[in-house]
């Protein structure tokens, strides 16, 4: 599995959101930077903390022109409940078959748990930052926002 690193073009994935829409990363090319965060599972303590941290900083991301997308293997209906329960304003994508994780090269933690990795993609579709940490959920948001703000300059 090839890992996506800073400087690589972001894969052009077409995905279904928890709102029943099909989106593609190419939809944002030339218009918005995109923050894509992969997380293991809706409703777990660290994943909920991470999602709520992105929610709390969402206005900062949108003011900087960025789109935020969360991806896990949970179903669209589970994503819908998770988004409603926690007031998540960003899109959640269901990666039931693990294709998005494979294409981005998201590693498993200890070979078992789905990895927690955040990618910042610029307006031209180039990955500018990758942060991977299973437990430092808040740092995913902090690092992504720092990079997004620099991209706006």
Residues forming the active site: 47
**Token pair of 125 as six digits:** 């579709």
What CA–CA distances, in Å, run from 30 to 24, 33, 73, 116, 141?
13, 8, 28, 27, 23
CA angle 30-93-43, nearest 5°?
135
Spatial separation of the C-alpha atoms in residues 53 and 51, rounded to whole Å: 5
Spatial separation of the C-alpha atoms in residues 47 and 50, rounded to whole Å: 5
Phi, psi of 93 (to 5 degrees): -115, 135
**Token pair of 111 as six digits:** 């070979």
């Amino acid at each position: 599995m090839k890992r996506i690193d800073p400087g690589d073009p972001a894969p052009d994935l077409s995905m279904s959101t928890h709102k029943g829409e099909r989106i593609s990363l190419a939809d944002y090319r030339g218009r918005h930077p995109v923050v894509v965060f992969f997380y293991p599972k809706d409703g777990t303590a660290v994943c909920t903390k991470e999602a709520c941290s992105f929610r709390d900083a969402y206005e900062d991301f949108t003011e900087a022109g960025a789109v935020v997308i969360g991806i896990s293997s949970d179903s669209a209906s589970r994503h819908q409940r998770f988004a409603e329960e926690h007031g998540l304003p960003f899109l959640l994508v269901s990666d039931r078959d693990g294709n998005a994780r494979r294409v981005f090269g998201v590693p498993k933690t200890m070979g078992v748990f789905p990895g927690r990795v955040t990618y910042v993609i610029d307006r031209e579709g180039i990955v500018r930052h990758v942060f991977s940490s299973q437990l430092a959920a808040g740092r995913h948001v902090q690092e992504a926002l720092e990079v997004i703000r620099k991209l706006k300059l």
